Amino acid sequence: MSSGFVTGLFSIPEGMAYASIGGFAAPLGLWSGVVPTIVGSVFARTVLMVTTLTSAIALSSQSVLAAAGLDPGDLGGLATLTVLVGVVMLVMGLLKLGSVMSFVSTAVMTGFTTGIALQIVAGVIKDATGYAPTPHNTLGKVWDAVVHVGGWDPATVVVALATVAVWAAFRFVRRLKSYATLIALLVVSVVCAVVRPDVELVQDIAAIPRSLPPFSLPDLSAVPALAAGAIAIALVGLAQAAGIGAAVRNPDGSRPDASKDFAAQGLANIAGGFFSALPTGGSLSRTGVGTSAGAQTRWSGIFAGVWLALLVLAVGPVAGQIPMAVIGGLLLVIGGELIAGRAGDIVLVLRTSPLSATAMIVTFAATTQLPLQDAIFIGAALSILLYAFAESRRGRLVQLTPDGDGGWLIDDAPQQIPSDRTTVLHYVGGGFFAEINRLEDEWPDARGSHDAAVVLSLRGSAGIPSATFLRAFERACLRLREHDVHLVLCGVPPILHRLLERSGTLDVLGHDSVVLETPRLMESVTTAYEIAERARGRKPGVQP
């Protein structure tokens, strides 16, 4: 409950600030943290994820409304946009499109979440320093703030640093560690109320109304103008939420489910649209506040929405006295914690391979320079390319040689098929088409071979055979036949056998030259070996 209180209190200034950034009335940022946050927390599979308004969604919503020619103050248009975004998210979740996130590698997700964390830091530079960077991209904002350090407001910097210092001090007290965020927020705000430094306050953004979220109805006439934009906003929200499952693990060790998170955010937006909420999505900053305050279950998010509503009703104007520099200091801490939390993954990726490191760096750059939906698609494409490259390098042939005692020895595949014996080869790979050129180069040469046969084992391999892979089998079989070398396939799973039959490849190989896989390891190899020996005119079981 305490973590929910911290998150709810934190949502007052941050929600109003994000709404203002997008050109919306500041109270809309408050309403976006009530109903959507409660509903999203109830259904999310990433249990600590907080669904609410983010700066990226606010800016994207502003752009969509402007393109549609609608007024940001039109509650009917806003309700329509929020509900449409929810419908898109819900449909994507029900269609299990969250599975696309399984194509995003650790390298890509590390670059993505680190980039979002840096976005959080860059987004509060003005609140923490009093200087407003002019560039639009994340790295540009950070660099502009560094080179213009002389333009920082001393009072704002002192308040922000004091907030960080108080937070750090209480993090070293074991019993108070989970309350450090709340303590820093309250202590520095109270001191500022007494000292009254010349810094921006929450109430300077807008007055905090003492009311619950008002009911609003969508304007159905606005659907055609907003439909395409709703898809774009949904992608922004889902792209942000995708990084939360990787950055913030479930305390009980359960695996997150991106599709269920998609659906949860969809339900949150559909419900929120009827209660004056702007489009929402998984918020890494608000989730970070909750986890920093000790959140352990989904109840933290549920209570965050409840507490926000109660705080606005009870002490809304009092919360307006919180300095924005305090918010800025705490968000610097949260962004820093998120980056530090990925340090191990960053080191691991850098040590894994140059390709993985490149993918991480490119995704990080895209996240900080491009719209988030573009960044996640670039990351997914990079992940798929990395997989394709790795898969194409995995496929290879090895030789299995009988040891005379009923066992088999593993060795490199020969360059030339030996005469007067049966050669047993095992294919290691997935049947991926990109493997074929290299495998055909490695295929033993049958020229000059006589009284020879080949057994090719596929057990545990060729799970996703392509048309290119099947045609390669046919070519290999025909080349062997040209030199009177018999080919027998073994360890063939039923699904592959049916595919060989449908494609006509089985007619080329010969129905008697295919041995299905069996539950007993190496049984199909032994059977195929005996078939090959008989094809050479040898008695079954006779070893070369």
| 479-499 residues labelled b (16+ CB within 10 A) or e (exposed) | bbeeeebbbbbbbbbeebbeb
Q: Please provide the DSSP assignment of 188-245 as one string.
A: HHHHHHHH--S--BGGGT-----SPPPP----GGGHHHHHHHHHHHHHHHHHHHHHHH
Looking at residue 535, its amino acid is A
- pLDDT of the residue at 152: 93
Cα separation, 439 vs 182, whole angstroms: 61
| Residue 436: pLDDT over 60 | no
How large is the average pLDDT for residues 173-197? 84
Lowest mean pLDDT, pick from 232-241, 352-361, 468-477? 468-477
Q: Residue 199's CB: how many other CB atoms inside 10 A?
A: 21
- pLDDT of the residue at 542: 40
CB < 8 Å & 24+ apart, contacts of 167-171 = 167/329, 167/330, 167/333
- pLDDT of the residue at 541: 45
pTM over 0.85: no
Q: Assess contact for 455 and 529: CB atoms under 8 A.
A: yes
Query: Where residue 539 falls among pLDDT bands split at 50, 70, 90?
Result: very low
User: Highest-confidence range of 94-98, 162-166, 508-512, by mean pLDDT?
Assistant: 162-166
Looking at residue 384, its amino acid is I
Give the closest residue to 38 by CA, choosing from 268, 249, 237, 238. Answer: 268
Average pLDDT along the chain: 83
Task: State how far Cα 163 lies from the chain centre.
Answer: 32
pLDDT (tens digit, 9 = 90+) per residue, 61-109? Answer: 887 888 888 888 888 999 999 999 999 999 999 988 876 666 667 788 7
- pLDDT of the residue at 462: 57
State what percent of residues in the chain have pLDDT above 90. 19
Q: Residue 407's CB: how many other CB atoms inside 10 A?
A: 10
Which residue do the tokens 């595949």 mark?
413
pLDDT (tens digit, 9 = 90+) per residue, 129-152? Answer: 989 898 878 888 889 999 999 999
- pLDDT of the residue at 156: 93
**φ, ψ for residue 507 (rounded to 5)?**
-65, -35
- The sign of the torsion formed by the CA atoms of 307, 5, 312, 288 equals negative
Give the closest residue to 277 by CA, choosing from 33, 441, 537, 102. Answer: 33
In this structure, the chain runs to a length of 544
Higher-pLDDT residue of 218, 375: 218
Looking at residue 158, its amino acid is V
Cα separation, 177 vs 541, whole angstroms: 72
Q: Assess contact for 111 and 362: CB atoms under 8 A.
A: yes
- pLDDT of the residue at 269: 96
Higher-pLDDT residue of 317, 158: 158
